[in-house]
Structure 1
Amino acid sequence: MSAGSHTFTSVAAGLADGLHGAGVRRLFGMPGGGPNLEMIGAAAERGIGFTLAHGETAACVMAGAFGLLTGTPGTALVTRGPGLTSAVNGLAQAFLDRSPLLLLSDCVPAVQRDRIAHQRLDQLAVAAPVTRWNGTLGHRDPAATVAAAAALAAGPPAGAVHLDYDASVPGDLPPAVVPPAAPDAAALERAIAVAGGRRRPVVVLGVDAVAHAPALREVLTGGGVPVLTTYQAAGVVDSGSPESAGLFTNAALERPLLDRADLIVGVGLDPVEPLPAPWSYDAPTLLLTPAEVDPAYFGSPTVVDGPPAPALAAVLGACIPDWPAGAGQRHRRARLADLAADARDGAGLHPIDLVRAVHEIAGHAQLTVDAGAHMLAAMPFWPATRPHGILISNGLATMGYALPAAIGAALARRGERVVCLVGDGGLGMSLAELETLARIALPVTVVVFDDAALSLIELKQRAGQGGADAVRFDPVDFAGVAAAMGVPSAVADDVAGVRAALSAPSAAGPGPFLLDARIGPAGYRHIIDVSRG
């Protein structure tokens, strides 16, 4: 078969059939030449919408967030060459944050590569390190190829999958999804033996626990065992419940609790989630995992494959917990008090006070959080009441995530207001997506933690490491930029101003709003000392 327009059209139709059959509801991307527009048109004929983004990485993040919240394979589309290379960070985010992403890219067709060098790259080699699998979508049963790729992206485990669109070749068929691990009865017996008689177990929930949230909640509710969650598992247990002990990052915040534990039970815990620090706890560790996991980070744990909820019930049933009533919530509240104990010395709006004020107005809205110093204030103080109620890049920890994720979340959860907490550095990386927000008129409240600095990096900076030139920006009028892009906005530099801005009619309407919150960065020093030691 040739690479002519008839073949492009027929492969695009097969692609769209495969997407529709896989439950894909929306494409995100930035099209270029070649068959990109054929793909978009064929998808539209099958009821699959398209959201135009300003950047390829942003499109991938939108798609991944949309996929997480809808339970469908998030799908993005880019052109060849710079389109694919600009999407690499989006692939990496989905790969390390376990988001379901299928990326479709145009390429120089194989039949033309001997002659055409313009934008010719080995795109499969480029994407290979940041994908679960990638290959070529050709003319051999494109619907089946796309359906298999979408299933692989959805997991478990979820992650990034890439298809290069080339109608001149037969193409590749993705591997089948590996079925969930079967229960390992022998390993469970060993785990039960380790747990037998333990009085102070602590459960740590990770990203792979999210899919099992209802069953895990049933096991944990009323059991009197403290429960920590990673950033990505926040909301698997309600942070207001007696069992909730707050967040786990393998840092200082949770150490007082884990130092008292005589058993640590990781459930769906992925080594990509914690900070790259030693595993230095004395208590034995169990890992109950529904998917294959590399246990090396966690020392020498006992690993139990299979459905985690029944295994957790059996392990906790062997324990004799004697924690004081509400020990998890007591720990959480004590650590929040430690974080908030920093003196308010008049040096500007404190980041924690900003988070509290936003939550006071927004309530339990869907939240997206960017990487940066502000996340250390946002994550502990924003109550998590449902799985995926807070979206953050954790495994990759990339800046520029929160705004495109908020767009994907708002499209997934129609009618709900989404709150986006982002630093000035992260917003600078995705600033053009404010126009996307305005064009689609999504109910997203963007709150900029504006201190004109890379504050988390500045806190780590030492003498002889570049000084202010390495970490500080000139001030930017983000409210003015937002207004120029069609997003109503306001500026605030104290709590009263935050409350007034977010209660105004322009912020409470059906469309987007941006608050440029001029914070005092001095409070971050105390937050990072308490959080990370």
Structure 2
Amino acid sequence: MEPTTTRGLAAALADGLLAAGVRRIFGVPGGGPNLDVIGAAAERGIGFVLTHGETAACIAASTYGRLTGTPGTALVTRGPGLTSAANGLAQATLDRAPLLLVSDTVPASTADRTAHQRLDQVAAAAPLTKWSGTLGYGGAAAVAEAAARLTLRSPAGAVHLAFDPTTAGDLPPEPTAPPVVDPEHMTDARSLVAAARRPVVLVGVDAIPDGAAVRRALAGLECPVLVTYAAKGVVPESWPTFAGLFTGAAVEQPLLAEADLVVGIGLDTVEAIPGPWSARAAVVLVHSHPAATAYFGDPLLLVGPYTTLLPAVLEDVAPDWPPGAGRRIHDSVFDRLGAHPPAGPGTLTPLDLVRTTRAALGDVLLTVDAGAHMLATMPLWATDGPDPVLISNGLSTMGFALPAAIGVALARPGRRVACLTGDGGLGMAISEIETLARLALDVTIIVFNDAALTLIALKQRDAQGGTPAVTYAPTDFAAVAGAMGVPGVVAGNVDELRRTLESVPHGPLLVDARIDPGPYLHIIDTIRGR
């Protein structure tokens, strides 16, 4: 069948996706061309997951792609389908997750007379993607395969294809030559590492695809290791050298102040919150691809594969940290968070909620939304990986955790997933509870319910709208979940929470945790400072 027809192009697209390793498509179809793609994909063994929203489809797809090492793929209709997917494109690109978005479009052959839903979709998606182009009849299968593989090329991110069988289409950019390590830079880096007595290692998002190589290189290395939010899980937290999180905020400053060298592995400037780089030590960055470095002052950048670079760079490291230095830094954060007065009888704090959930569920897969609850969750939820904790760190978008949990559960069948979200973030993706029920996924949603945008409220000052700008009417999320087919339970104290989590060991569950937000100010002071 020729790719100059809708069905012909759908078949060619499906061939290209299959060749690139695509296993599932997520999305919201809008009619003929979309349905032809779904049908052609199904004939080739590529399944389709129907979501309620386009952004949710993108998040689920890119998360699935990250964990499976395949191009996460989403399908939307033209016009509102593409524009509704914009946040999902941005999330994939800034969080360095692989996503191919295929959109229907007004065909070029009728664009001069068809204004309905007509947008320049290629141009609209371009600022949010690594590349945006048209899939036409010219070499369609090869173009689709190349576009899908482009999503995985470091740095991973979003790619967009507008589906149009009436035009020849565009060609994705060719792969660049593998980077060649500068011998002088390698010599300088090895000298800095050999001379350092108190080096600190920071592991970032680019290390995730090569996590095994990173763990091998750092195993037994007697110096503190910090991970970014996105890289949490790459390094086992049971290691005595694990020192906690690097966020660009107050929590890691004492350790960086003691360091005489910072070694960044896969560290991406998109990961740190805006602010000054305070470390005075020299910085060596090891990265799989050329990367921006200005945030870290004037570092020495080495570009190449981690499997060969890390052993060479770290070969002569001779740290002289006191035994257990990293663990003491890590434990001090726990102690400071725990210094908040205990909750009163019959109440539940964010700290109680995280600790109790982690104890009850164990080291399960975890997705975390943006909001105040992440400041309690990320330092207190211990994991030895190797799968990373899934969080939107580069874009920090609310509404991430639930669709991400769907992608995680499909990528890791047979394993339980914990989805920790605030009431604001869940409200943005609440329709996907039905998707969770329909697919019968083993996901436990924990809602930090205080009827407010608490992180924003903590930043609020006089003459900035007051309470109406940051608070909602109370919502019974347990009742909503039940109406959508997921068991929902309200928990207002630690005992209720523990009993609920232990009584439903498998399948979908939503826990509507009615929390006391009082400790959040103490938490944000501990993690980020004033």
- TM-score category, normalised to shorter length: over 0.9
- Structure 1 window deviating more from structure 2 (309-318 vs 347-356): it is 309-318
Rounded Cα–Cα distance in structure 2 between residues aligned with 1:114 and 1:211 = 45
- The answer for the alignment partner of 1:517 in structure 2 is 513
Output aligned runs, 1:435-454, within 5 Å. Answer: 435-454=434-453
| Native 8 Å contact 1:370 1:400 kept in 2 | yes
Amino acid paired to 2:22 = V
| Native 8 Å contact 1:264 1:285 kept in 2 | yes
Rounded Cα–Cα distance in structure 2 between residues aligned with 1:180 and 1:433 = 40
| Native 8 Å contact 2:2 2:8 kept in 1 | no
| Native 8 Å contact 1:424 1:451 kept in 2 | yes
| Native 8 Å contact 2:208 2:388 kept in 1 | no
Rounded Cα–Cα distance in structure 2 between residues aligned with 1:370 and 1:448 = 10
How much has 1:327 moved relative to structure 2?
1.5
Output aligned runs, 1:281-430, within 5 Å. Answer: 281-346=279-344, 348-430=347-429
| Native 8 Å contact 2:231 2:388 kept in 1 | no
- The answer for the alignment partner of 2:458 in structure 1 is 459
- Structure 1 window deviating more from structure 2 (296-305 vs 181-190): it is 181-190
How much has 1:57 moved relative to structure 2?
0.1
Provide the secondary structure at the position in 2 that maps to 1:110: coil
| Native 8 Å contact 2:2 2:9 kept in 1 | no
- The answer for the alignment partner of 1:211 in structure 2 is 209
Provide the secondary structure at the position in 2 that maps to 1:250: coil
Runs of 4+, deviation exceeding 3 Å = 308-319
- The answer for the alignment partner of 1:272 in structure 2 is 270
Amino acid paired to 2:268 = D
- The answer for the alignment partner of 2:505 in structure 1 is 508
Amino acid paired to 2:52 = H
| Native 8 Å contact 1:240 1:329 kept in 2 | no
State the TM-score, normalizing by the size of structure 1.
Answer: 0.97
Rounded Cα–Cα distance in structure 1 between residues aligned with 2:60 and 2:329 = 35
Rounded Cα–Cα distance in structure 2 between residues aligned with 1:280 and 1:426 = 32
- Structure 1 window deviating more from structure 2 (147-156 vs 88-97): it is 147-156
Provide the secondary structure at the position in 1 that maps to 2:521: helix
Rounded Cα–Cα distance in structure 2 between residues aligned with 1:394 and 1:441 = 28
1:41 to 14, 39, 42: 39
Give a deviation string over 1:406-444, Cα, whole Å, max 9, x none: 001111111111110000000000000000011111110
Provide the secondary structure at the position in 2 that maps to 1:514: strand
Rounded Cα–Cα distance in structure 1 between residues aligned with 2:386 and 2:82 = 31
- The answer for the alignment partner of 1:115 in structure 2 is 113
Provide the secondary structure at the position in 1 that maps to 2:155: coil
Rounded Cα–Cα distance in structure 2 between residues aligned with 1:53 and 1:445 = 18
- The answer for the alignment partner of 1:174 in structure 2 is 172
- The answer for the alignment partner of 1:481 in structure 2 is 480
How much has 1:195 moved relative to structure 2?
2.9
Amino acid paired to 2:284 = L
Rounded Cα–Cα distance in structure 2 between residues aligned with 1:317 and 1:146 = 42
How much has 1:211 moved relative to structure 2?
2.1
Identity fraction in percent: 58
Cα separation, partners in 2 of 1:374 and 1:92, compared to 1, 3 Å: same
| Native 8 Å contact 1:403 1:427 kept in 2 | yes
Provide the secondary structure at the position in 2 that maps to 1:291: coil
| Native 8 Å contact 1:443 1:512 kept in 2 | yes
- Structure 1 window deviating more from structure 2 (117-126 vs 339-348): it is 339-348
Provide the secondary structure at the position in 2 that maps to 1:215: helix
Rounded Cα–Cα distance in structure 1 between residues aligned with 2:148 and 2:300 = 33
Amino acid paired to 1:500 = R
- Structure 1 window deviating more from structure 2 (175-184 vs 15-24): it is 175-184
Cα separation, partners in 2 of 1:180 and 1:513, compared to 1, 3 Å: farther
- The answer for the alignment partner of 2:142 in structure 1 is 144
- Structure 1 window deviating more from structure 2 (298-307 vs 336-345): it is 336-345
| Native 8 Å contact 2:491 2:497 kept in 1 | yes
Rounded Cα–Cα distance in structure 2 between residues aligned with 1:318 and 1:21 = 43
How much has 1:324 moved relative to structure 2?
1.3
Cα separation, partners in 2 of 1:326 and 1:286, compared to 1, 3 Å: same
Provide the secondary structure at the position in 2 that maps to 1:232: coil
Amino acid paired to 1:224 = E
- The answer for the alignment partner of 2:54 in structure 1 is 56
| Native 8 Å contact 1:238 1:384 kept in 2 | yes
Provide the secondary structure at the position in 2 that maps to 1:114: coil
- Structure 1 window deviating more from structure 2 (298-307 vs 88-97): it is 298-307
Rounded Cα–Cα distance in structure 2 between residues aligned with 1:167 and 1:214 = 43
Cα separation, partners in 2 of 1:444 and 1:345, compared to 1, 3 Å: closer
Rounded Cα–Cα distance in structure 2 between residues aligned with 1:329 and 1:211 = 26
Rounded Cα–Cα distance in structure 1 between residues aligned with 2:134 and 2:313 = 45
| Native 8 Å contact 2:286 2:302 kept in 1 | yes
Rounded Cα–Cα distance in structure 2 between residues aligned with 1:345 and 1:354 = 11
Rounded Cα–Cα distance in structure 1 between residues aligned with 2:509 and 2:288 = 40
| Structure 2 residue runs without a partner (length 5+) | none
2:245 to 240, 247, 251: 247
How much has 1:346 moved relative to structure 2?
2.0
Amino acid paired to 2:280 = D
Provide the secondary structure at the position in 2 that maps to 1:196: helix
Give a deviation string over 1:319-356, Cα, whole Å, max 9, x none: 43111122212211111211221112428311111111
Rounded Cα–Cα distance in structure 1 between residues aligned with 2:253 and 2:440 = 44
Rounded Cα–Cα distance in structure 2 between residues aligned with 1:400 and 1:295 = 30
Q: Does 1:531 align with 2:512?
A: no
Rounded Cα–Cα distance in structure 1 between residues aligned with 2:363 and 2:436 = 21
State the TM-score, normalizing by the size of structure 2.
Answer: 0.97
How much has 1:280 moved relative to structure 2?
1.6
How much has 1:309 moved relative to structure 2?
4.8
Rounded Cα–Cα distance in structure 1 between residues aligned with 2:32 and 2:161 = 15
| Native 8 Å contact 1:93 1:393 kept in 2 | yes
- The answer for the alignment partner of 1:22 in structure 2 is 20
Give a deviation string over 1:374-423, Cα, whole Å, max 9, x none: 00111111112124331000000000000000001111111111110000
How much has 1:287 moved relative to structure 2?
0.9
Cα separation, partners in 2 of 1:409 and 1:2, compared to 1, 3 Å: closer
How much has 1:514 moved relative to structure 2?
0.3
Give a deviation string over 1:134-187, Cα, whole Å, max 9, x none: 100001121101100011001122100000000000111111233442222221
Rounded Cα–Cα distance in structure 1 between residues aligned with 2:310 and 2:129 = 31
Rounded Cα–Cα distance in structure 2 between residues aligned with 1:79 and 1:519 = 40
